[in-house]
Chain A
């Protein structure tokens, strides 16, 4: 085999091995990299940060196990943000798969805060500080129905409690009492929130999306329909950076630590593409 032929015929298993190694090795020495915060994430952070005390935030957890690595870090960061600032949140899922992940995230972050709490006022208490509404299909039902009445759509919460008995739900009746909705999703659901909830009821919407779907949603950010956009692991790292910088919240920054692996993996892929193209052009010239 000539050198040119070797360049364009690297065995795929060697490529797989190299990708696995360049991704894994930086993870053995995790260092949270400082990231420059760009305006889409900054807008989202500010939109959450400026929610008034008498209003609530709705977080739509719509990520599946397949998108967990990208969306869970931003979900954790957002929960830490809201619990630190004592912003009241309602959590819901528009599909069945994210339910377990949403419960796990809420349990983990609320336990984290309660481990540090000195008093009842400091603690994160279910029903007072947050409510997990659960899932009511199909997606349009809660998106449109909550404009009139949240309790009508969710007569019981995820845990089976009657929603109207929960302290938070005594004053959060519909979108009129909600200042912002953040949709953490890997599908086109953030667009559905815009189409139905924002158009009919004027609800402000932000989104946390996977890197793959970022391109679909940037036009809505530019037009002002989204009040912010957090994209992928990088977006989560930026949100973590803002938590540290603006709220002095210090915790392990998993998304920030992952950026080293992403950097080396990107460089490896760029190298592979360049090698492939060198081989291609050399072959073409030979012909």
Chain B
């Protein structure tokens, strides 16, 4: 029952997910509309709450046990609650019950997002430029014919797509574009077929109850 009932539900909703693509009957479309617009939307909101609950639980446990780097968990928790309070009570556009400015200094949710999250997130990914340069220098070796091909194609594209490539030779940008249009497409499409067919097989196994890893290990 603890495993059978969810499996049956999965199969029913799985088959129901397929039906609207083939049956444009108003009853089917109407039920699909309710499932998509109401059921799935509300369930996804609760999934977020669950995710947040798990995140907070992990960090509260770290704080309680004084685990490694536990003070930083306080920082996370405080940042989370301050942002949530400002957002929930200050409103999306800053016109809620909580005032979101002191004089001309705003601290509404969008300001916090644009002026704190954007620099933080942007800089985290900007680090990758440095790591990529360092990793390319250390690891990119033309050890074999295939690796040499890869390197050569990379150099052609890196120069060819830029105005410098056009100055070196008028044919270089077109050649770089041809590499994107032909060998890249051939490689990606072949890999894509494998992924699509493999994905399809897995999806069918899930719906038919053959693949049950999503149930978890417990009884």
Contacts and interface: CB of A to CB of B under 8 A. Distances in A.
Interface of A: 10, 12, 15-16, 19-20, 23, 33-36, 38-39, 64-69, 97, 100-101, 103-104, 136-138, 140-141, 144-145, 148, 152-153, 158-160, 200, 214-216, 218-219, 222, 234, 259, 262-263, 265-266, 268-270, 272-273, 275-277, 280
B28 interface: no
Interface majority SS (helix, strand, loop, mixed), chain A: helix
Contact of A270 (B121, B124, B158): B158
Interface of B: 21, 29, 33, 36-37, 40-41, 44-45, 92-93, 110, 113-114, 117-122, 124-125, 129-130, 132-134, 136-138, 140-142, 151, 155, 158-159, 161-164, 166, 173, 177, 180-181, 184-185, 188-189, 192
Contacts of B166: 36
Contact of B41 (A16, A64, A137, A234): A137
14 contacts: A36-B173, A39-B177, A68-B122, A69-B122, A97-B117, A138-B44, A148-B29, A152-B33, A160-B93, A234-B162, A266-B159, A269-B136, A270-B159, A276-B136
Nearest to A232: B161
Contacts of B177: 38-39
Contacts of A153: 37
Nearest to B17: A140
A97 B180 CA distance: 31
Nearest to B44: A138
Contact of A277 (B92, B124, B142): B142
Given A153-B37, A277-B142, A15 B137 contact: yes
Contact of B185 (A137, A200, A219): A219
B106 to A, nearest CB: 13
